[in-house]
Amino acid sequence: MTAAPRAVLWDMDGTLIDSAEYHWRTWRDTLAELGVALTREEFASWFGSRNDRILGRYFPDMPREQMAEISERKEARYRDLVRTEGLSLLPGVQGWLERLHAGGWRQAVASSAPPANIAVLLEVLRVGHLFDATVSAEEVAHGKPAPDVFLRAAERLDVPPDRCIVVEDAAVGVEAGRRAGMRTIGILGPHGPLEADVVTSSMADLPPDTFDRLVPPGR
């Protein structure tokens, strides 16, 4: 009898990597071209949301085609920064990715980022072989805190939601995981308290049996 599959669904920014500074710089410059003087406080209040929701805050009547063009301009700048200035995984992440992969867990990136940003992350960090799928919020009807992106990732991995663990750093992501019927691990950061099943300040601090306790092996 084969073991029942299990999966880990990883958020990207603030969970796998910390590229908030790159996003701050590219949003600041892009919005400045549109006459918006973005502050750090404003940026922190919505960072992690889908681009259409961000632009809609400032330009509620902007046509969707124009939103898409501005969004792509911003993201192209972000990808240029990633390629030229580099990125590194957050503490403990590499070890967990490798340990879970070796243990037979299926893994996916499930992020609000555009697909091209997820691709450049995997390219620059050379971790693509550790993931079985990637899902962007652009591919589903509703972004986090709706559960859509995590449910799509579970479907791609062919793993039932109750056999999945979501790893997130934002409250909206943890809520999305809970609404998907999944267990959750929250990484504390600038977004405030998290109502996850397990909360940690760093993936490096998690006990080695954390994932097995949340979703035990089954047959």
pLDDT values of the chain reduced to their tens digit, one per residue, 219 residues: 567 899 999 999 889 998 889 999 999 999 999 999 999 999 988 887 788 889 999 999 999 999 999 999 999 999 999 999 999 999 999 999 999 999 999 999 999 888 999 999 999 999 999 999 999 988 998 888 999 999 999 999 999 999 999 999 988 899 999 999 999 999 997 766 899 999 999 999 999 999 999 999 986
**What is the CATH class of 7-17+88-214?**
alpha beta
Where are the CATH 3.40.50.1000 domain residues in the chain?
A: 7-17+88-214
Residue 52: active-site member: no
Query: pTM for the whole thing?
Result: 0.87
Locate CATH 1.10.150 in the chain: 20-85
Which of the following is catalytic: 13, 148, 169, 197? Answer: 13
Please name which of 207, 210, 146, 204 lies closest in space to residue 180, comparing C-alpha atoms: 146
What's the angle, vertex CA 177, arms to CA 173 and CA 183, rounded to 5?
Answer: 125
| 11 counts as catalytic | yes
Residue position matching structure tokens 């893994």: 107
pLDDT at 58: 97
What is residue 108's predicted lDDT score, i.e. its pLDDT?
98
pLDDT of residue 44: 84
Choices 1.10.45, 1.10.10, 1.10.150, 2.60.60: CATH for 20-85: 1.10.150
| Model pLDDT, residue 2 | 67
Which entry of 11, 148, 169, 197 is annotated as an active-site residue?
A: 11
Q: Give dist(CA 217, CA 110) in Å, integer.
A: 23
